[in-house]
A and B are shown apart, each in its own frame.
Chain A
Amino acid sequence: MKRRDFLIRSTLLGCSAAASPFMTPVALASAPWDARLVVIILRGAMDGLDMVRPYGDPDYAGLRGGLTGGGVGEADLDGFYALHPSMEPLRPLWQQGALGFAHAVSTPYRDQRSHFDGQDLLEAGTVGLDTGRSRDGWLNRLLQSVPGVSGETSFALGRDQMLLMRGDAPVSTWAPESDLNLSPQARLLLEMVSHDDPLFSGAVTDAVQIAESLGLIDVPETALDAQDMVTQRMKDNRKQAANGHMLLADFAAARLKEEARIAAFSLNGWDTHKGQKNAINRAGTQLAEVIGGLHDNLGPEIWGKTVVLAMTEFGRTARLNGSAGTDHGTGSAMVMAGGALRGGQVWADWPGLGEADLYAKRDLMPTRDVRAHAAWTLRSLFGIEQSVLETKVFPGLDMGGDPRLVL
């Protein structure tokens, strides 16, 4: 792999020092199968009612007319649901059956409506949060339950910043912006000074192995050399400023074409308390571009073996609030894509939007556990036993009937 291929980084240095570089790490894991899974956590609580609009529901226009205007049906998907305009570029995928949605879904999280607990629960995949923060994520427990996932790959042992992938199974994380330049001697000594601290020694080993496998390790001969490398990286980063989310898609796709079989990352910006029309448009465009980017970069063969699940911590209020936005709610939608998806459909047991149909008279009522859809995807895509899914990966989950999400 050429070093240049991975000089895909970004740092927003434009108008202000406060602007942050796109620092979301991508988590990757290899596994003994050929199918690919990409899980995207949509942070901030995506408004499912806006992204996948149930315009056929008689109460929808009354609740959301102020936001969507007329003509929602022009973006029709199936006579009942319509697509948010930001997702319109993906319509060809819908037509090919490589895009689909699950609606009125949620995790078991109820009533507190905290982003942080909601995301923890989504990533932990459990029924409730035990005291304090959860220890491991459902994707990691999936890997733990599969014999043959081992550290003997180029992406050995990782410590994840995403709870979703955190746990005892080997997973690596790396931000597309990072690199590491070390002389062989410095590397040995670094391992030595970190040796007695398991957290540090693990991270040093990972950092060196990941950087090596990505061809990122240069050996500076002098201090000046080392500084030049830093300056050069900064310049490269600046050039890539605007397209942070695409770095994730490109980086994940590049790894999925090689050893990685599972990739996970987050997209932010869904917390649309005010001016939702513009805010959700930005977030939706990013999501659409990421899915499009995965499709383009994976190429037809790998795309055909891929499922993308984009899920969020909870939905938003059915009614608009006082600032043309929506507040934290309960039920939302899941966005699914990939050549292996039996797409072109919206899976939902639709609860309705009348006052009495809403959860706590304010939110879309969830009628299915979003974890069940994730579990059936793992069942079909990777052949994981249902008993393993219901006890280990998503403890306490009743998967219910097979929605037949995967071809």
Chain B
Amino acid sequence: MVFDPALADIRFGTGVSPRFARPTGVEDMLRRLTGPDRMAEAYPVPRFDGEAGEDIREFHRLLQARKKVRGTEAETPARRQLSKHRKKLRAAEMQSARHILLRGIMSEDGFRERLVWFWTDHFATGPRSQLHRASMASYVEDAIRPHVAGRFADMLWAAETHPIMQVYLDQQKNYGPNSAAAQKSKRKIGLNENLGREMLELHTLGVGGGYTQADVTALAGLLTGLKVEKNTRAVFKPNAAEPGPFMILGQYWGGAPGDRERELREFVEALSVNPVTLRHLAYKLAVYFVADAPDEGLVEHVAAAMVGANGDLVAGYRAMLEHPAAWSPAPSNVKPPIDFMVSACRALDIHPAMLERMNDSNTKARFLVPMSLMGQPWFDPNGPDGLPEADYRWVSPQGLAERIQWSMTAPQALTTKLPDPRSFVETALAGRAPEPVKFAAKAAETDWEGIGLILSSPAFQRR
């Protein structure tokens, strides 16, 4: 394997930048990844166990308070307070959006940011409750980011139990039909399979992973008892839990409702190191980082490393990065919209203050709305299967039209002075620009069109 520092930034990081030193080798990349999370420190995003949680509980309190006084004189002030709080949440959401972009743009540890994006999409969620709508970034901060260089078991546990995931996949509605709660309830309550199904189909074994409908139903049963408390914390309620045991994937799991947290944890541990799970993850990593149809040897190598290391993710990353197929020089995958925009900002070397001080309306206009029109709505995927992987899904006529529009207009708005396209073509493409792109950089009638053409070219769009 020949390590290629520029390719390390382009394919495994958030793009080349004239400002930051490139990684010197695989061990250097992993050292940065396992070191302190400098970007999270520099550009904080609130967490559910901190400010985000407080904000959501306050939101809930204000909603209830308004409900109570509906139709009375006190309604107007209650409504005013609520709308003030909503504004606060919206401002925090936009601040988080800027911080997430800035982390990608300013990072010397781009592999970490990419892994966060990858795992966020693997455990894709969207807003289902107005209480959580503005706090989607906090889900990633709680459940994904702390675990990207850890054990898959811990991320799996954190993601499945997170309030946002529970609400997204209806776990709150999942009750044991024979639980104490169901016996007492006047309404008919019972199993809801949504979380159990996606846990097997999307998050672990994968759709061909050999599970059956009976496994899905049984897992839904084992999941009963897992609930959300105060809209912000995972909690286990024995009175909602179906008495076990449950036969899942050929083994019995769970027993008395009182011990459900430990029982579910044991199952998650076992599922997380199931070789079928780890091979599914290896395949997805290879597709995301390397190619739509990845080299089989690469996939098997990554899978074997993760199996050997009991689901230790860094072992998998190391295996991927040391495999020659990961470094084939020809550009392959098309960058998803956020990757494209962040890598363009890095190549343009935009000043961080440009984004730090950007107001909310410009943040939407320059980043979030175009990103949506390119096919990646901000924290709102089409479904729990997340973003598409195949290149052609991004390079549709209208998706590409949006990329072209953005390339031609955003750089002008994000820099005080545009670089000369003739030098920019070298920086942005790390000295490996194809001749037609170099020619276009020279031949464009204006500097902004020159920059736009470079950023729109397949040479920049692929990695």
Q: Is the C-beta of A177 less than 8 angstroms from some C-beta in chain B?
A: yes
Cross-chain contact B193 with A327 (CB below 8 angstroms): yes
Q: Does the CB pair B449–A203 fall under 8 Å?
A: no
Please tell me if the beta carbons of B405 and A230 are within 8 angstroms of each other in the complex.
yes
| A268 near B392: Cβ-Cβ < 8 Å | no
Q: Say whether B189 faces chain A, with CB atoms less than 8 Å apart.
A: yes
- Within 8 Å by CB of A18, from B127, B385, B395, B445, lies B127
Q: Is A17's CB under 8 angstroms from B97's CB?
A: yes
Contacting pair A207 B444 (CB below 8 A): no
Contact call B408/A185, Cβ cutoff below 8 A: no
Inter-chain CA distance A159–B213, complex, in Å, is 35
- Per the bound structure, the CA–CA distance linking A294 and B449 in Å amounts to 40
A16 at the interface (CB under 8 A from B): yes
A23 within 8 A of B: yes
Given contacts A66-B188, A274-B192, A320-B188, whether A116 and B207 have CB atoms under 8 Å apart is yes
Q: How far is the CA of A42 from the CA of B190 in the complex (A)?
A: 27
Whether the Cβ atoms of B93 and A25 lie closer than 8 Å is no
Chain B, 345-370, CB within 8 A of any chain A CB: 360, 363-365, 368-369
Q: How far is the CA of A322 from the CA of B241 in the complex (A)?
A: 13
B interface: dominant SS: helix
Contact yes or no, A322 B207, CB < 8 A? no
**Most chain A CB inside 10 Å of its own CB: which residue of B194, B207, B369, B436:** B369
Which of A146-154, A168-176, A395-403 participates in binding chain B? A168-176
B423 contacts partner chain A, Cβ-Cβ < 8 Å: no
B94 in the interface, Cβ–Cβ < 8 Å? Answer: yes
- List the one stretch of A84-92, A137-145, A194-202 in contact with chain B: A194-202
Q: In the complex the two chains form, what is the Cα distance from A312 to B105 in whole Å?
A: 42
For chain A, the bracket of interface size reads: 35 or more
- B252 at the A/B interface (Cβ < 8 Å)? no
Instruction: Name the distance in Å between A123's Cβ and chain B's nearest Cβ.
Output: 14
Chain B 59-101: CB-based contact to A (< 8 A → 1; otherwise 0): 0000000000000000000000000001000100110010000
Nearest A residue to B453 via CB reads: A189
In the assembled complex, the Cα of A260 lies from the Cα of B392 at a distance in Å of 23
What A residues does B86 contact at CB under 8 A?
Answer: 15
**B207–A181 touching, CB < 8 Å:** no
Q: Is B197 an interface residue (CB 8 A)?
A: yes
Q: Which residue of B lies closest to A199 (CB)?
A: B395
A182 at the interface (CB under 8 A from B): yes
Residue from the set A174, A180, A237 with the largest chain B CB neighbour count within 10 Å: A180
In the bound complex, residues from chain A placing their C-beta under 8 Å from that of B437 are 193
- Decide: A18 near B378, CB < 8 A? Known: A175-B398, A195-B436, A322-B177: yes
Quick one: CB contact mask for B177-201 with A, threshold 8 Å, 1 for yes?
A: 1000010000111111110010001
Chain A proximity mask over B361-400: 1 for CB below 8 Å, otherwise 0: 0011100110011010111101101000011110111111
**A15-B90 CB under 8 A given contacts A113-B213, A223-B412, A328-B197:** yes
**Measured between C-beta atoms, what is the minimum distance from A335 to chain B in Å?**
22
B439 contacts across to A, CB distance below 8 A: 189, 192
Chain B minimum-CB-distance residue to A228: B409
**What residues of chain B lie closer than 8 Å to A324, measured between beta carbons?**
187-188
With A11-B372, A21-B369, A207-B401 already in contact, the answer to whether A327 and B445 are too (CB < 8 A) is no
A194 to B404, CA, bound (A): 12
A196 to chain B, nearest CB (A): 7
A111 contacts B by Cβ under 8 Å? yes
User: Closest residue of chain A to B211, judged by CB?
Assistant: A112
Q: How far is the CB of B313 from chain A (nearest CB, A)?
A: 25
Nearest-CB residue, chain A, relative to B368: A17
Distance A117 CA – B333 CA, assembled complex (angstroms): 23
Q: Assess whether A273 is in contact with B453, with CB atoms less than 8 Å apart.
A: no
A15, A186, A231: which contacts B449 (Cβ < 8 A)? Answer: A186
A-contact bits for B311-338, CB 8 A (1 contact / 0 none): 0000000000000000000000010000
Whether A161 is near chain B, meaning CB under 8 Å from some CB there, is yes
Chain A CB within 8 A of B175 CB: yes
B365 touches A20 (CB 8 A): no
What is the minimal beta-carbon distance from B365 to any residue of chain A, in angstroms? Answer: 6
B134 / chain A contacts, CB cutoff of 8 Å: 16, 18
Q: Min CB distance, B455 to chain A, in Å?
A: 10
Q: A199-B392, A227-B412 are in contact. Are A13 and B373 (CB under 8 A)?
A: no
Contact B93 A158 (CB under 8 A): no
Query: Which residues of the partner chain B approach A268 to less than 8 Å between Cβ atoms?
Result: 382
Q: Assess the A231–B207 pair: CB atoms within 8 A.
A: no
Q: How far, in angstroms, from A17 to B89 measured CA to CA in the complex?
A: 11
Interface: A387 (CB within 8 A): no
Question: How far does the alpha carbon of A222 sit from the alpha carbon of B379 in the complex, in Å?
Answer: 34
5 other contacts beyond A18-B380, A193-B437, A274-B170, with CB at 8 A cut-off? A21-B369, A23-B372, A172-B397, A234-B365, A328-B193
The 6 lowest CB-CB distance pairs between A and B, nearest first, are A322-B190, A20-B377, A323-B173, A197-B458, A206-B397, A207-B397
27 intermolecular pairs with C-beta atoms under 8 Å apart: A16-B90, A16-B93, A17-B364, A18-B133, A18-B377, A18-B379, A25-B398, A133-B390, A158-B397, A174-B397, A177-B373, A181-B405, A190-B404, A192-B436, A192-B439, A193-B456, A195-B436, A196-B458, A200-B457, A203-B399, A207-B400, A223-B412, A226-B448, A321-B173, A321-B192, A325-B173, A327-B192
